[in-house]
């Protein structure tokens, strides 16, 4: 499993974070810190692209909740794109699939 790598890009709808590798107890603080520094304006959408996510544990899910709280505090939206099956199972089990918009890919998530 590769180490966590996060890239940030801008789309018409707002910032896009691409998360690659493992999002776990050791790496989740990196995502939480980056999210806190992402500027959001009301009406924008923060997209977290998880297509390259290889592993996610409860700490990773907590980091995603932090991202949701950050977006809502800025009166912005959030969407998760390309959630892998292993993470989707966790989200279904915990009920997080009901609080996050889950979109099939980055293109769908960044469509105005």
Domains and CATH numbers, the chain: 5-109 (3.30.750.24)
Q: If 0-12 CB within 10 Å is exposed, 13-18 middle and 19+ buried, where does residue 100 land?
A: middle
pLDDT at 40: 97
Q: What is the pLDDT of residues 9-29, one digit of tens each?
A: 999 999 999 999 999 999 999
Residue 35 CA to residue 37 CA, distance in Å, equals 5
Task: State the pLDDT confidence band at 1, using cuts at 50, 70 and 90.
Answer: confident
Which tokens belong to 53? 């996510």
Residue 82 CA to residue 80 CA, distance in Å, equals 7
Q: What is the pLDDT of residues 33-77, one digit of tens each?
A: 999 999 999 999 999 999 999 999 999 999 999 999 999 999 999
């Amino acid at each position: 499993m590769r180490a966590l790598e996060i890239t940030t890009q801008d789309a018409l709808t707002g910032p896009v974070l691409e998360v690659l590798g493992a999002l776990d107890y050791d790496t989740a603080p990196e995502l939480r810190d980056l999210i806190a520094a992402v500027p959001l304006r009301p009406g924008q959408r923060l997209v977290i692209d998880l297509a390259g996510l290889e592993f996610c544990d409860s700490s990773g899910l907590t980091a995603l909740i932090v991202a949701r709280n950050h977006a809502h505090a800025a009166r912005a939206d959030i969407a998760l794109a390309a959630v892998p099956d292993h993470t989707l199972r966790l989200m279904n089990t915990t009920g997080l699939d009901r609080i996050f918009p889950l979109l099939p890919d980055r293109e769908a998530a960044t469509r105005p």
